[in-house]
Structure 1
Amino acid sequence: MKRRTLLSAAGAAVAGAALLRPEDAFAATYSGYAMAYFTESPTMAAANYGLHLAVSGDGLNWTPLNQNNPVVTPTLGSKGLRDPFILRKQTGGFVVLATDLNGTDWNYQSQYIHVWDSADLRTFSGYRLLKVHSLATHAWAPEAYWDAGRGQYAVVYSAVTGGHNVLMVNYTSDFVTASSPQTFFDPGYDAIDGDFVSVNGVNYMYFKNNTNSTLLGTRSSSLNPGSFSIYTSGVGPGRGVEAPQIVKSNTANTWYMWGDTWSPNGRFFCWQTADVASGSWSLLNDRAYTQPLNSKHPGITPITSSELSALTAKWGAPAWNRVKSYNFPDRYIRHADSVGRIDPYPFDPYQDQLWTLVPGLADSAGVSFRSVNYPDRYLRHYNYALQLAAGDGTAAFRADATFYRTAGFADSSWTSFRSYNYPDRYLRHYNYVLRIDPITSSSPATDKQDATFRIGY
């Protein structure tokens, strides 16, 4: 049900056969993206089933809003949501849809989905439950698109019929009442998480094959139930993946497809292609993207520069940062047992990777890493090894805890950190443990990569 596709003039001319959305006509004006999600972490310490938002300028690196807290929380049904989705409506503004499920009780059977209206994603109104069926089953991962031929919105979701999940559809003009459900797509096995885009008049839907946790592409020249046929083999990162989300770059002829691993131990993966019709996707290196902290099951929509600015002004960027390793980009700087190191995301306590980058304790032109969950403690070097320690008021501590940001040795768009009191030494990881070592332009490439990091969220 995605709403972030560019249609060619030829595609736009096929009334009723393509997903016609307001953003298609104004795609040139978009310069950013908004993402809806909920949160979980490996031990479920971060579990929160309210609506979270993040924004991005490039569609790859994301800034959580509202300190990664929910911007609105359901108060009806299960009083929790999963799988949020944002649609820009034909009449302006947005509608937000989500699964009615608070947590992970997969036996919970709700015939409803959560719905909010929003003029700008800064305020939310008209909160309600929309009944989509009367079956003894759930309504998972709802998404929607405008069906120009019918003059209505289609709401597509997963429900069990015939012994397995299929994709069902209801039609609505207002997201207050909906038509009776129909089977939209049934491959003969468990299928969930449908996601739609249109390119040159052809409609594409990617979904999760729930029997092997891969993503499959289908296509159709119409939007009619039963008209989509599979045209790709399974896409996956070598582990189970779900929740496909396809979004087009605002600046290039590139499409990105996001996927979320299904467990709380999971994380996002991202693929790209220049040709959706080919069904061929290349998995991006983790270096290219950063998901919002603890985010699950994203719903992504393009937004304008003014909408991006307004959202950031309303909800605010985090007061903390995460710092990613260049050559192990699935790992982030963290403290563990007071030792500075890099570890694979995600992990708990997730707060161990959160840092307030404050003016350097020894020189305000530099920076010091103050722990978010131990705010009286800083990363400092001792015998060249990095440790988390409480300030003792000495000049030596302040000096050991101060670094200067410089252009990254391995990539000048990233960052390297030079020690204040050992200016020939830089922060680097070695066997995943942080230390300071001499690094120069003639150092081995591996050393320079070890000393390069990305400051983000």
Structure 2
Amino acid sequence: MTPLPHPSRRTLLGLAAATPLAASGVLALGAGTAHAADAAYVMAYFTESTNLGDGTDYGLHLAVSTDGLNWTPLNQNNPVVTPTQGAGGLRDPFVLRKQDGTFVVLATDLKGTDWSYNSQYIHVWNSADLRTFTGYHRLKLHDMVTHSWAPEAFWDAGRGRYAVIYSAVDSSGHNVIMVNYTTDFVTASAPQVFFDPGYDVIDGDMAVGVNGVNYLYFKRNGTLVGARSTSLNPGSFTPFTQGVAQGGTEAPTLVKSLTSGTWWLWGDTYTPNGVFYAWATTDLAAGTWTAVDQRTYTQPVNSKHCGITPITAAQYTGLLAHWGAPVWNRLKSYNFPARHVRHSGFAGRIDTYPVEPYKDSLWKPVPGLADASGVSFQSVNYPTRYLRHADYAVRLDVNDGTPAFAADATFHRTAGLADASWSSFRSHNNPARYLRHYGYALRVDPVSTVTERQDATFKVGY
């Protein structure tokens, strides 16, 4: 079998502003039915840098969000648990809230990008709270000489069992979506073909019971396509949408807003590597999607092939308290939202995500070196260096301990000049000037025009 190309699945000073917990609602989601108490989301993913170097980790990573769009990585974006069997790594993790309110985590048994590695198993963990993980094992799904990619699960009420869907090559010679049924994720029924439209498909993601209709989104030829059925029977789904894509896109993830009628469709690109895009609709039945403004969402750094599940406010708070939020931030450009502040050759600039090496775009905000009510930006990978201006150009220089350096490296955070919900940074020793980009290079300049205000506006996040 020849695999599809790159077939992955998916505080200082209050700098990372808190988002109010969302109101709740009862919703049907691919990762299980949302409950009335749900007010936030958890994202499961693995990490992979563009060169498979620093920032690549094939363990289970988690992030949380109150709005489903902006994410706080947990455990400093390090894994919370790592497989010890099979390939010793995972891809494409998925979190399901089971009928008893506890969670099960499923993932592809694959470490790295050896697409010739065929595993008949998937990784499984149980968890009461996503803080501790128990009962780790692998679940065997088939005896075929093929993979078991991108496992997900949903509750099939008619059968009284969970359905585990995944991608595998069957006797047709191309990838189809298979299904096995289980009550305990320890043993499973024999595999069946769940969805075979006659061409290669991988990365199935479900939304179950939406106004009496079930939706399956999948990857076809680098696009995300939807199928639907009024039943959950294998073979009953029919494609009904045009493909949605941004470059080569895979790993569709359907997410329902907890506060409105909006649905989001997340997709993960493999060209360039690992960039998430989001589309929105208020009518899932129509199957038409509109690209979401990149200003409104930010993915965890180096994240790949995510799964998103609703959680309660208490679970959200518990996860943050247990695993902790990052000690670093990223700064996103307002008028070039695909770009983040980074250093390159010790010069400050904004560059398109993903940044390589990725730590060039991570900043530890500390109390201002010249005024503790301000902020200075300490480099994560060069901790003796700080962003400072010299002749109004912004550089990453070693702190020499002088008052002049401290003043050059201190900024005062204000409401965003182009959007008050974002942030701008006024120079401490040149208070008529603000941190801004010009030709993608960072400077401190006077700001007066609409464009200059946009250049000087940033989102502080992760």
Alignment TM-score, normalising by the size of structure 2: 0.93
SS in 2 for 1:176: coil
Q: 1:192 aligns with which of 202, 217, 236?
A: 202
* RMSD of aligned residue pairs (Cα, Å): 1.4
Q: 1:444 aligns with which of 438, 441, 449?
A: 449
After TM superposition, the structure 1 = structure 2 runs for residues 68-147 of structure 1, keeping only pairs within 5 Å, are: 68-147=77-156
After TM superposition, the structure 1 = structure 2 runs for residues 260-409 of structure 1, keeping only pairs within 5 Å, are: 260-262=268-270, 265-409=273-417
> Against the structure 1 CA distance between its residues 132 and 139, is the aligned structure 2 distance closer, same or farther, given a 3 Å change threshold?
same
Distance 2:264 2:142 in 1: 32
5+ residue gaps, structure 1, are 9-17
Distance 2:31 2:106 in 1: 17
The alpha-carbon deviation at position 220 of structure 1 amounts to 0.2
Task: Tell me if the contact between 1:6 and 1:248 (Cα under 8 Å) persists in the aligned partners.
Answer: no
Distance 2:56 2:319 in 1: 24
5+ residue gaps, structure 2, are 1-23
Distance 1:7 1:39 in 2: 31
Question: Deviations along 1:66-115, whole A, 9 cap, x unmatched?
Answer: 00000000000000000000000012200000000000000000000000
- 2:261 counterpart of 1:250: no
Q: 1:214 aligns with which of 223, 229, 235?
A: 223
Partner residue in 2 for 1:30: 38
Task: Tell me if the contact between 1:98 and 1:141 (Cα under 8 Å) persists in the aligned partners.
Answer: yes
Question: Deviations along 1:411-451, whole A, 9 cap, x unmatched?
Answer: 00000000000000000000000001011xxx221110000
User: Structure 2: which amino acid aligns with 1:426?
Assistant: Y
The alpha-carbon deviation at position 7 of structure 1 amounts to 6.6
SS in 1 for 2:285: helix
Q: 2:67 aligns with which of 58, 73, 96?
A: 58
Partner residue in 2 for 1:177: 187
Partner residue in 2 for 1:15: none
Partner residue in 2 for 1:418: 426
The alpha-carbon deviation at position 262 of structure 1 amounts to 2.5
Task: Tell me if the contact between 1:50 and 1:81 (Cα under 8 Å) persists in the aligned partners.
Answer: yes
Partner residue in 2 for 1:12: none
Task: Tell me if the contact between 2:155 and 2:161 (Cα under 8 Å) persists in the aligned partners.
Answer: yes
Distance 1:428 1:399 in 2: 17
Task: Tell me if the contact between 1:19 and 1:146 (Cα under 8 Å) persists in the aligned partners.
Answer: no
The alpha-carbon deviation at position 265 of structure 1 amounts to 2.2
Distance 1:289 1:399 in 2: 33
The alpha-carbon deviation at position 21 of structure 1 amounts to 8.3
Question: Deviations along 1:131-183, whole A, 9 cap, x unmatched?
Answer: 00000000000000000000000000000011110000000000000000000
Task: Tell me if the contact between 1:20 and 1:147 (Cα under 8 Å) persists in the aligned partners.
Answer: no
The alpha-carbon deviation at position 263 of structure 1 amounts to 5.4
Distance 2:30 2:341 in 1: 44
Distance 1:372 1:400 in 2: 19
- 2:439 counterpart of 1:431: yes
Alignment TM-score, normalising by the size of structure 1: 0.94
Distance 2:31 2:217 in 1: 18
Distance 1:20 1:348 in 2: 33
Partner residue in 1 for 2:21: none
Task: Tell me if the contact between 2:32 and 2:154 (Cα under 8 Å) persists in the aligned partners.
Answer: no
Task: Tell me if the contact between 1:19 and 1:148 (Cα under 8 Å) persists in the aligned partners.
Answer: no
Distance 1:295 1:86 in 2: 16
Percentage of matched positions with identical amino acids: 66
Distance 1:191 1:265 in 2: 20
The alpha-carbon deviation at position 347 of structure 1 amounts to 2.0
User: What is the count of residue pairs matched by the alignment?
Assistant: 436
Partner residue in 2 for 1:204: 215
Distance 1:222 1:159 in 2: 22
Distance 1:108 1:21 in 2: 27
Partner residue in 2 for 1:165: 175
The alpha-carbon deviation at position 285 of structure 1 amounts to 1.6
Distance 2:167 2:270 in 1: 15
Question: Deviations along 1:322-360, whole A, 9 cap, x unmatched?
Answer: 000000001000000010000000021100000000000
Task: Tell me if the contact between 2:32 and 2:309 (Cα under 8 Å) persists in the aligned partners.
Answer: no
Task: Tell me if the contact between 2:227 and 2:238 (Cα under 8 Å) persists in the aligned partners.
Answer: yes
The alpha-carbon deviation at position 20 of structure 1 amounts to 10
Task: Tell me if the contact between 2:32 and 2:155 (Cα under 8 Å) persists in the aligned partners.
Answer: no
Distance 1:78 1:264 in 2: 26
The alpha-carbon deviation at position 19 of structure 1 amounts to 8.0
